[in-house]
Structures are given as C-alpha cells and as structure tokens.
Structure 1
Amino acid sequence: MNEVYSKKMCLKEWAEQDRPREKLVCNGRRMLSDAELIAILIGSGSREETAVELSKRILANVENDLSELSKLTLNDLRAFKGIGEAKAITIMAALELGRRRKENIAKKKPQIKSSEDAYRILQPLYADLGHEEFWILLINTANKVIGQELISKGGSGMVGVDVKNIFEAVLHAKATGFIMSHNHPAGTLKPSKADIQLTDKIVQAAQYMDIRMLDHLIITDEGYYSFVDHDDL
C-alpha cells in the first residue's frame, strides 16, 4: 500500500536560489524580503516551520511593521515558538544597530536652520520608546549642535523635569542656546497644559540668564510639534 503523506521542505531542500543566504549572495541584500532577512538572523526554524515561515509569523504579529517589531521586548520575542533567548537577542541587536545607523546619519547634519533639522537629530533618540523622555540639544553661536543631554525620563504618560538640570547642562557644555524636546508615546502631538507651563517657565529663566531657548519639540512616531512653528514661543 502506498503511504501518502506531506511534509514541509526544510531550507536545505529548497532550490539554492530560494534560500535567503544564497539569495543574498546571488542577488544582493535589497532583493530579500523582511522575513528572509530575519530568517538569516535566526538561522533555523523548527520541524513544524522553516526559518522564513517563523519570521513571517513574527512579522504578521506586528502587522509587518519593523518599527513595531523594534518595540518588542526579549520576553515578547521568546513567546514565539521557535525563538529562544539567543535568537531573540540576535533580532534585538540587529534592530538596535539599524536605529543607531539612523542616529549617526542625523549627526551628520548638526546645524539647526529649522525645526525639521532639530527633529531629524532628535527623532532617533525617541524611536521605539514606550515611556517619556526629555532631551535637549546644546547649541553654539553658529546654531550648530555641540551635544545632546538626557534630562529626565518618566512613565508612559508624563516626565518630570528639573529646570536646574537643563541650565547646568547648558553651562557645562559652554553652549549659548538649547532646544528642548520630549516624546508622547501615546501619539498625540498636541501640547498638554503642563507642557505649555514648563515651556513658559524655561523661556523666562533662559531670558534672565541671557541664554537662547530656540524651540521645544514634541515628538511621536508619526511626526513632531514645534512650539516655534505654532507661534507658542
């Protein structure tokens, strides 16, 4: 009696040109899908599914959004069958390298001529954060960025800011001005009453100390809000 059965082919049984590593060698990295690139990172799947199928399943869970994938924690990744600690760490490390590459690109444009320039430098600092942070860009007389400083970090809804820490950072760097920024993890770009009050307080202190407070940016995954652009300063 003929035994009829079906099984999924492992990657080694695929045509060589269809294997992610071989495909990259033959056709270049840009020809690979996100799932294929992740499959190369994790190396192997399981008896039930190939590395590519496992990668597709992970991506489907975040609606094929690499930004959302970057937000997954070690435990989130380990929750997928077939992903152990080593594979989860490899995925997280690769995504972090990508984030740092964006940050390095932003650093190549250190002169601030508009709110968009400031946003391009600041955005990588807030990428994939699930909590609020407050950063400042330190500016010299030529409006070039000479440093960046994390002032404080908080929870998902608010961050406390000690005004003294801002001016200590500015004076320590011998900066003549600064740009404030913080993120809204929930995604709203509208400044809160507390945001407005804090901005007014710091503007007054900066004027008293003859230091330029150039702007305050609220940053989300979708864009930014500039106090200067909206005539709020």
Structure 2
Amino acid sequence: MHEKEKLTIKSWALDDRPREKLLSKGILALSDAELIAILIGSGNKSESAVALSKRILKESNASINELAKLSVEKLMLFKGIGEAKAITIITALELGKRRRLETALEKSNIHSSKDAANIMQPIIGDLQHEEFWVLFLNNSNKVVAQHQISKGGLTATVVDVRLLFKRALELASVAIIICHNHPSGKLQPSTSDKNITQKIKEASITLDIKLLDHIIITEKTYFSFADEGIL
C-alpha cells in the first residue's frame, strides 16, 4: 500500500464493510465500533476505520457514555481523527441523547421518582459540573416545562429560590420536582442539598405549590428524597 493511501471502507474485505453489513443484515448486527466507523469513513495509514474506532472505544472504557464526554480537542488526539470527524462523532452522540430525552418527555406524566429521573438523566447525568433543574407539573402530574435554574462547579451550584418560584407561577404549576446532578457519582445528599431542599419546601408551602421530590442524578442511577422519606 502506498504510504499516503488511506484505508477507506471501499478497500476493505466485503465482510469488514459496515455499510454493506448494515444493508444486508440490518443495523442491529453492527457493533458500536462499526457504527462509529461509518461515521468517520476512513482510518489512518496504519489502521482501518473499524480498527481506529475500536481503539477509541477501548480508551473510553468501551463505553458510549464515556465517549460522549470527549471534546473535539480530545478526539483529535487520536491519529486519523481530524476536526470534521470529531464533530461528526459528537453530533451523532448528541442526537442519540436528544432522542432519548424526547422519548422520555413523550411519556412525561410523573407517577414515580423513576419517571422524573428518566427525564433528567439524559440532560444532566453525564455532566462534569453541577446543574440544578426544576420540572414544573400541572394538576395531572404532567410535565409542562423543565428549566435550568443554575449551574456551577464540580461540587456545588447556587440556587435562586425566587427565580424558581417566579417561573412556577408564570407556568401556573401546581407542583414541582427539583433535580440536580453529582458529577462525583456520589448519591448521598450533602448538608447543602438538604438545606436548599428545606428552603424550597418552606417557600412551596407558602405559595401552595407542592414540592413532590428532590432527585439527585448520577450517570448510572439516582437518589430520591421522597422515596427515602426525608423530604
């Protein structure tokens, strides 16, 4: 092979061509690496797009969620991944995330803490900083809006309670669920988490807007104040 020749999809053996495999066997037959290989189209001088994709996944702990956290700059550290390919990978993963969120919102009547967690996990579960969000509900426990109240650093975010309830009154909400993430993965609420919950609960009683739950979201699971009986 000429030194400058790239290992494009067309140069592979037929069994190694993910596009053809998709057409002949269906998309479910493709591995994560093969799907990524279709996105990037070609590898580098020494490895095919599939081999490059396998290496990227391996260094992401074989996790699509970990891969989704990589920036354009970090993806470009892999030989064969330029800016355009990095942007393509990030865009595809973001679309998948938004599809999951859209599906959750289509079933947005809240019957349990899990329903609320399913809505919020795609939004804040894998962030590297804290964000504080509120789900605003009507009298049928349907989510009429979700709104970011604040975002902060690795371990904390400042919440303006007045802004939270201003939005609730504008939406004529009868109930709210507050949510924030713990980038550390630690589920247990901190003292500040408990304090802000109590502050919001007291305001909700005054305004006759019920605080149904406070949910702490991590990448893989969640903690519910209501389920634990500490609301």
The TM-score, its normalising length taken from structure 2, stands at 0.95
Question: Which of the numbers 38, 41, 49 marks the counterpart of 1:40?
Answer: 38
Residue in 1 that maps onto 2:201: 203
* Over 2 Å off, 4+ runs: 8-15
Rg (Cα) greater in structure: 1
How do 1:40-189 and structure 2 match up within 5 A? 40-189=38-187
Whether contact under 8 Å (1:99, 1:127) holds in the other structure is no
| CA displacement 1:83-129 (0-9 Å, x = unmatched) | 00000000000000000010011011111111111111111111321
Q: Which amino acid aligns with 2:30?
A: L
Aligned counterparts of 1:74 and 1:82: Cα–Cα separation in 2 = 13
Letter in 1 for 2:218: T
Amino acid at match of 2:75: L
1:16 to partner: Cα distance: 1.8
- Per-residue deviation, 1:63: 1.2
Per the TM alignment, residue 224 of structure 1 is displaced from its structure 2 partner at its CA by 0.6
Segment of structure 1 superposing worse, 153-162 or 118-127 = 118-127
Deviation, structure 1 residue 9:
7.0
Structure 1 segments unaligned to the other structure (5+ residues): 1-7
Q: Is the 8 A contact 2:134 2:179 kept in 1?
A: yes
Question: TM-score by structure 1 length?
Answer: 0.94
Q: Tell me if the contact between 2:126 and 2:218 (Cα under 8 Å) persists in the aligned partners.
A: no
Distance in 2 (alpha carbons) for counterparts of 1:224 and 1:26: 40
Tell me the SS of whatever aligns to 2:184.
Answer: coil
> How many residue pairs are counted as aligned between the two chains?
226
> Residue 5 of structure 1 aligns with which residue?
none
Q: Percent identity?
A: 53
Cα distance, 1:165 vs. partner?
Answer: 1.0
Residue of structure 1 in register with 2:20 after alignment: 22
Distance in 1 separating the partners of 2:169 and 2:148? 15
